[in-house]
Structure 1
Amino acid sequence: MGNNALDSTPRATHESGANQAGSFFTPMKPPLSFTDQLELMRNRGLTVGDEELALRRLSETNYYRLRGYWLTYELNGRFIPGTTFDSIWDTYELDCALRTWVWETIAPIEIKARTLFAYHMSMECGALAHEDNRYFKNTIAHAHSMESLTRERNRALRDGVPCVVHNIEKYGDLPIWAAVEIMSMGTVSQLYGNLDSAKSGVAKSIANGFGVKPFILKSWLRHLTYIRNICGHHSRLYNRIMTTRANLLKRDSRHDSDKEFPTFLVLKRIYEQSWPKQWPSRLNGLDAAISKHGGVSLQPMRFPEEWRDILK
């Protein structure tokens, strides 16, 4: 008797649509051409002005990427009467502009966080203190952070990053001031959030550099890492539920929500402490991006009507 006869385990097949747990899935939908995609949207009530332009945009931007931008224009599986392809595209373009603005605004915050982490960690605890789990509350979480750093170090060695090659060849290890240059923002955020304040004053010293208490900075870095990753992967920011939220200062608590406006408040508070002269130009850039797409509602992002005054 062959092996197949002895093995009675049920096998899932694409044809049957069954998985190995014995349940059944709905058969996969067939792919649609760009023309069929547009026709499907029309059948659901969308108004299409320039068909050639709409088809070109579908060919350059995945249907399911655009799908997230018409959630606010949809009711019971159909488009709200009067919804146009252009209105959806305008929402998409606003989101692109917001993601670019947020990415650029976070960049100096990330660099400052790296700098202060390396400086205070090394000055108080030593050049290799980031590798010593005694300075951290959760040793398992610290081990995961070190695994991430090891992967980044190996990648940097393969790529011949000068500061990494130099330190490894000369010292056999990376001091914290070199290590932070190859750490992801997520690793920096995790290490900061894991610092044990009973073992050192590093967490407080870094937070002082941002003008807030350590628990606030921990929350902000974690949240901004999440937002940075959304922007870096070109994911939708507009009308998104924030699964990683920031703790707001008491004076901003009335604007707390699981949508996007709190992110902009956090950025304002960091800039007014660290780079107050730069914030007005950053805000002007945000205003320009939003004004260019004035027909798109900011309500899904929980922007209040007076958002410009609040962020001023």
Structure 2
Amino acid sequence: MNYTKLALHYEDQLNLLVSRNLICNDRPRALEWLQRIGYYRLSAYFIPFRGGSTDNFRAGTDLDDVVDLYKFDGNLRLLMMQAMDRIEVAIRAVITYHVAHNLGVFGYADPANFASSFDHAAFLGLIRREERRSAETFVAHYRTKYTSETYLPFWMATELISFGALSKMYANLRAKLRKQIAQEFRQPAPVFLSWLHALTAIRNTCAHHGRLWNRELAVKPELPKTWKAQGIDNKRLYVIALIVQTLLSEVSPDSQWKERLKAHFNAYSSVDLAQMQFPANWQNEEPWL
């Protein structure tokens, strides 16, 4: 079957929505939303407003209802990015500290310090590429002063690579060192590693303005035994929020992130949080109290 849909002008996009029972009382404003958000991106938020298996909207659904859900999701992404910025900096610092002290300043350049399955050459190649394109002053200063050194000190290298590359490197460290690092965050190494992978995926979703509301996680984190006992699921955003708050309590005990998250959800009380698997009484349970 060939794809036959054509690109529609803004007016035609709006007419299509109206023909499907969506209320648009302020037509100029509705056209502005379509121009600034895009029909296809906005359509990801049509789901809870549709009736049955058709493309038609439930009676009484206004475009403003859809846009409010879009705004809710956008502000949720900002909250997640703010939290993960602090978490990522702390994790980088801890990994850098322990690797440098256990393996040495340039120990990361020795493949013997990693699992045999790790593509160590590709890892070093990545660092070289990031160094070449870096405009950081510390890189230029180091290369000017230490002209005989092949590699950057580890604490410089970790400032250049992505969080995803860092987590992949962590995954291939020797077990004892992985455990030592994970203990800084009071988690078993396998759980902590899975959290790094899950947070990297969510961070990428946020960076690309992807939908968080009702998204099924592409990378599902492992759960601590206590969470499993509580029946917590690892398929949707609630588990990510739990991970974020748990890590923030370690790296930033005075953080008010959970209060900002509550305030955000309370400001959009019409949004169905169950679609993200937030329990009905989540605000009255740990770690949210």
Could you state the TM-score of these two structures normalised by the residue count of structure 2? 0.92
Cα deviation for residue 26 of structure 1 reads 2.9
* Residues 267 and 33 (structure 1), Cα distance of their counterparts in 2 relative to 1, 3 Å cut: same
- Match for residue 78 of structure 1 among 56, 68, 72: 56
Cα deviation for residue 57 of structure 1 reads 0.8
Structure 2 residue 20 is the aligned partner of structure 1 residue 44:
yes
- Tell me, in whole angstroms, the C-alpha distance in 1 between the residues paired with 2:121 and 2:283: 43
Structure 2 residue 251 is the aligned partner of structure 1 residue 274:
yes
Cα deviation for residue 249 of structure 1 reads 1.6
* Residues 25 and 144 (structure 1), Cα distance of their counterparts in 2 relative to 1, 3 Å cut: farther
1:273-299 CA-partner distances (Å, limit 9, x unpaired): 332222xx1111111211222211112
Equivalent residue, structure 2, for 1:260 = 237
Q: Report the more deviating stretch, 291-300 or 140-149.
A: 140-149
Alignment of 1:199-218 (within 5 A): 201-218=176-193
Equivalent residue, structure 1, for 2:78 = 100
Structure 2 residue 152 is the aligned partner of structure 1 residue 174:
yes
RMSD of aligned alpha carbons: 1.6
Equivalent residue, structure 2, for 1:291 = 266
Alignment of 1:22-33 (within 5 A): 25-27=2-4, 29-33=5-9
- Tell me, in whole angstroms, the C-alpha distance in 2 between the residues paired with 1:146 and 1:242: 30
* Residues 148 and 49 (structure 1), Cα distance of their counterparts in 2 relative to 1, 3 Å cut: farther
- Match for residue 133 of structure 2 among 130, 147, 155: 155
Conserved 8 A contact 1:145-1:190? no
Conserved 8 A contact 1:149-1:187? no
Cα deviation for residue 184 of structure 1 reads 0.5
Structure 2 residue 121 is the aligned partner of structure 1 residue 146:
no
The SS at the match of 1:78 is coil
Letter in 2 for 1:57: W
1:20-42 CA-partner distances (Å, limit 9, x unpaired): xxxx6333x22211111111111
Q: Report the more deviating stretch, 187-196 or 291-300.
A: 291-300
Structure 2 residue 241 is the aligned partner of structure 1 residue 250:
no
Sequence identity, in percent?
30
1:45-72 CA-partner distances (Å, limit 9, x unpaired): 2122222211111111111111111122
1:218-240 CA-partner distances (Å, limit 9, x unpaired): 01111111111111111111111
- Tell me, in whole angstroms, the C-alpha distance in 2 between the residues paired with 1:79 and 1:147: 52
- Tell me, in whole angstroms, the C-alpha distance in 2 between the residues paired with 1:257 and 1:214: 18
The SS at the match of 1:102 is helix
1:118-153 CA-partner distances (Å, limit 9, x unpaired): 111111111112222212114443333333322211
Q: Report the more deviating stretch, 257-266 or 161-170.
A: 161-170
- Tell me, in whole angstroms, the C-alpha distance in 2 between the residues paired with 1:301 and 1:286: 14
The SS at the match of 2:45 is helix
Could you state the TM-score of these two structures normalised by the residue count of structure 1? 0.85
Letter in 1 for 2:37: T
Cα deviation for residue 115 of structure 1 reads 0.9
Equivalent residue, structure 2, for 1:14 = none
Q: Report the more deviating stretch, 31-40 or 302-311.
A: 302-311
* Corresponding pairs, count: 280
1:74-104 CA-partner distances (Å, limit 9, x unpaired): 2322222222111110100000111000000
- Tell me, in whole angstroms, the C-alpha distance in 1 between the residues paired with 2:283 and 2:26: 34
Conserved 8 A contact 2:108-2:154? yes
- Tell me, in whole angstroms, the C-alpha distance in 1 between the residues paired with 2:208 and 2:259: 25
- Tell me, in whole angstroms, the C-alpha distance in 1 between the residues paired with 2:61 and 2:124: 50
Equivalent residue, structure 1, for 2:29 = 53
- Match for residue 275 of structure 2 among 277, 293, 300: 300
Conserved 8 A contact 2:21-2:58? yes
